[in-house]
Amino acid sequence: MILYDGNAPGPNPVSVRLFIFERCGIKLDVESVDLRNLANRSRRYRTTVNSRGEVPALKLDDGRIITEITAICGYLDEVAKGGKRLFGETPEERAEIAMWVRRVDLEVCQPFVTWWRGTDAGENLYRGNRVLFPEAKTNNRLLAEKGLNQLDDDMERRAFVAGDRITMADILLYGFMGAMNQMIPSLNPPGRTKVAAWFLRMAGREAAKKIMTDLPSKIEN
């Protein structure tokens, strides 16, 4: 398998990196796509890897290409050798984790990233390449804040988003918040106490310390 990762990591590739380090039992080759020089938007990348010009992407041994981070992580969870599944072990666990992944994605990650893409930095990177919503910046920011406030209430008596152990919901949320936190520290104010404590708990994990560094060309963990 080949994972197409980026050399200027945004929240999507960072989430997959975190998944790989947390999951264990994963073996793959890594190709770093030169995002700084927009190699991801080249004709070659779009025709051979991802027609949407995005990272990450996963090329399976039979040549199939999987994109979209939850699909990539879901596949890796299935084929990893040993270790504990991050998408759940039983039908009930899988349904519950899928519910939290969807909530985190819809209520926090997507509004947040849409907000960021409407800022000057986001506009400079994506002008002419994506449909941007600078006029909806305030509302997207409010939506993300509302999602995080809700999560703060939800996490009253638990250490992780979906319960007492780390799951894909934590990977997704921390992938986004960890990658964006350096750009947007206000994303994680101390007043949102449960989310702030969760963020520190996640940041202290060995896996989380490696996510902003380029991956080696081979992973075997």
Ligand X SMILES: N[C@@H](CCC(=O)N[C@@H](CS)C(=O)NCC(=O)O)C(=O)O
Give contact residues for ligand X (rule: CB under 6 A).
10-13, 35, 40-41, 53-55, 67-69, 129
Alpha-carbon distance of 148 to 23, in angstroms, equals 25
129 versus 150: smaller Cβ distance to ligand X: 129
CB 3 within 8 A of CB 16: yes
Rounded to the nearest whole angstrom, what is the least distance from the CB of residue 13 to ligand X in the complex?
A: 6
Phi/psi for 163 (5° steps) reads 150, -140
- The β-bridge partners of 58 are 3, 66
Amino acid, single-letter form, for residue 93: E
74 versus 192: smaller Cβ distance to ligand X: 74
Residues sharing a CB contact under 8 Å with residue 140, sequence separation 6 or more, in sequence order: 111, 112, 114, 115, 118, 133
Amino acid, single-letter form, for residue 82: G
Alpha-carbon distance of 56 to 69, in angstroms, equals 7
55 versus 97: smaller Cβ distance to ligand X: 55
Q: Which residue is nearest to ligand X (CB)?
A: 10
121 versus 200: smaller Cβ distance to ligand X: 121
Rounded to the nearest whole angstrom, what is the least distance from the CB of residue 113 to ligand X in the complex?
A: 8
If DSSP codes are grouped into helix, strand and coil, which group holds residue 139?
Answer: helix
20 versus 69: smaller Cβ distance to ligand X: 69
Rounded to the nearest whole angstrom, what is the least distance from the CB of residue 16 to ligand X in the complex?
A: 8
Rounded to the nearest whole angstrom, what is the least distance from the CB of residue 108 to ligand X in the complex?
A: 14
- The β-bridge partners of 152 are none
Alpha-carbon distance of 189 to 181, in angstroms, equals 11
Rounded to the nearest whole angstrom, what is the least distance from the CB of residue 191 to ligand X in the complex?
A: 28
DSSP letter, residue 52: T
69 versus 215: smaller Cβ distance to ligand X: 69
Rounded to the nearest whole angstrom, what is the least distance from the CB of residue 57 to ligand X in the complex?
A: 8
